[in-house]
Amino acid sequence: MSESAAIEYTKVAEIKGPLIIIDGITKASFDELVEIETSDSTRRLGRVLEVGHGKAVVQVFEGTTGLAISGTKAKFLGKTMAMPVSPELLGRVFDGLGRPNDGLPDPIAEKFLDVNGEPMNPERREYPTSFIQTGVSVIDGMLTLVRGQKLPIFSGSGMPHNILAAQIARQATVVGTKEDFAVVFAAIGVQYSEAQYFKRSLEESGALRRSVLFLNLADDPAIERIITPRVALTVAEYLAFDMGMHVLAILTDMTNYEESLLEISAAREEVPGRKGYPGYLYTDLANNYERAGRIRGKNGSVTQVPILSMPADDITHPIPDLTGYITEGQIVLGRDLFRKGVYPPVNVLMSLSRLMKDGVGEGKTRSDHMEVGNQLYDAYSRAQEVRALAEIVGRSGLTGVDLKYLDAGDMFESHFLKQEKDENRGLEETLSRTWDVLSTLPEGELTKIKEKHVRQYYKETK
């Protein structure tokens, strides 16, 4: 923390969207924190984006609405934005800039961490191999989340991604160990009702005491969203690598975050890239996503579940497209399933957890886990093909095996995929349900499962 006094500048040259340009700058550095004082003495925070030729471009987090060229003062604080961290952050609710939002005082800091974090040294990264149970069958059974993984949820407007996110936050746990588990939840540009839902749902389930919430609402200034994932991940890193906890960081909705990046980019008159997003969109996303992982020699882990709504359900949109390059798989929500009333409407055929193979199996979950996951994927894929065929030739034109696949597909959706919003299924129950579905198929169709597992778990129909 800087101990020298700060210089205050009063010469505002220009106000441009979320940016103000200060003139006559003698001392300022890139990313330095700036306190803006308006003519009515209210204070806002900002940071330096560019400095040179006696000018500094400052991005105002709380927006520039109400600021005037005369009467506005900018105090350069000589430090970058830092988040006060301590174990007492657990159970607290903050706004998008990391200020208390629960009526309690500022946290007593054990230390102050730069919100930009530091990229993890790739040499010190440890490969993620341990299972996190979410209590959601489709995720645990087929798209297993592994400690230290980054697994985004691709959704669309109006779909229940936030309900799923809250369910994961309530139910997620590390099974079979006494290690501490925590959830850092960053709501970025969400509606007030959604923010209240997250808060209430964690409070009522008793999960709030192991959670830290950052709530940036839809009516908060868009620029604030630039900081929300950063403060959340800073806290996640502290809890993981200083406190040795296994942290699940849920960031919803990253599309809102990228929209504010676009706003700044447009105000800075940068050359636009795909769909008007800045050319450094990939780098910026990677800066956030790569803060997940495990570090050799340290106990904790940061697992990330960023949620992004795809504009017009377009998976080729730059945000999901570039996210897919960085993350280790994706969970895609399907509108067809949503319309059919299936919750969670996960389209498993478009989803994948790249690290699942390393986090499941003997000694981690159950020896048949990976095989049943693959077989279920295969069976549902075949069921979809048969459904398409049945549309043309009708059920009467299908073979006996095809009809079995049709039944398996229906049972997959109604018995395995579908679950209540507050239903927490254990892994054993999830795997038992996979066998319920697979047992509707003839034994000979289960080609991806070892014979010993088929003998042990296949349920003969009476």
Which of 14, 30, 68, 106 is in the footprint of other proteins by CB under 8 A? Answer: 106
Q: Write the burial class of residue 428 (CB in 10 Å: 0-12 exposed, 13-18 middle, 19+ buried).
A: exposed
* Phi, psi angles (nearest 5°) of residue 137: -55, -45
| Amino acid (1-letter code) at residue 377 | Y
**Tokens standing for 187?**
């709501």
Find the shortest distance in angstroms from Cβ 24 to other proteins: 5
Binding flag, residue 4, other proteins (CB under 8 A): yes
Binding flag, residue 401, other proteins (CB under 8 A): no
**Tokens standing for 156?**
């669309």
| Cβ-count burial 166-187 (b if 16+ within 10 Å, e if not) | bbbbbbbbbeeeeebbbbbbbb
**Rounded Cα gap, residues 418 and 235, in angstroms:** 34
- Cα dist from 266 to 203, 275, 311, 438, whole Å: 40, 12, 19, 53
**Rounded Cα gap, residues 387 and 403, in angstroms:** 9
- Cα dist from 20 to 57, 251, 302, 324, 434, whole Å: 6, 29, 35, 34, 57
- Window 419 to 438, contacts with other proteins (CB under 8 A): none
Which of 68, 69, 104, 349 is in the footprint of other proteins by CB under 8 A? Answer: 104
Binding flag, residue 3, other proteins (CB under 8 A): yes
144 within 8 A of 136, measured Cβ to Cβ: no
* Per-position x/- string for 336-375, each x denoting binding to other proteins as judged by CB under 8 A, each - no binding: ----------------------------------------
Binding flag, residue 443, other proteins (CB under 8 A): no
- Cα dist from 417 to 46, 72, 410, 449, whole Å: 45, 56, 10, 20
> Looking at 23-31, 296-304, 325-333, 429-437, which segment touches other proteins (CB under 8 A)?
23-31
Binding flag, residue 203, other proteins (CB under 8 A): yes
Binding flag, residue 41, other proteins (CB under 8 A): no
> Looking at 2-10, 57-65, 299-307, 451-459, which segment touches other proteins (CB under 8 A)?
2-10
Find the shortest distance in angstroms from Cβ 336 to other proteins: 34
Which of 9, 61, 94, 241 is in the footprint of other proteins by CB under 8 A? Answer: 9
- Window 211 to 250, contacts with other proteins (CB under 8 A): none
Find the shortest distance in angstroms from Cβ 210 to other proteins: 8
Site size toward other proteins (CB under 8 A) is 35
Find the shortest distance in angstroms from Cβ 433 to other proteins: 17
Question: Looking at beta carbons only, is 8 or 362 nearer to other proteins?
Answer: 8
380 within 8 A of 350, measured Cβ to Cβ: no
- Window 63 to 102, contacts with other proteins (CB under 8 A): 73, 75, 84, 88, 91, 102
Q: Please state, as a whole number, how many other Cβ atoms lie within 10 Å of the Cβ of residue 140.
A: 26
Binding flag, residue 321, other proteins (CB under 8 A): no
- Report the interface residues with other proteins, using CB under 8 A: 1-11, 23-24, 26-27, 73, 75, 84, 88, 91, 102, 104-106, 108-110, 112, 203-209
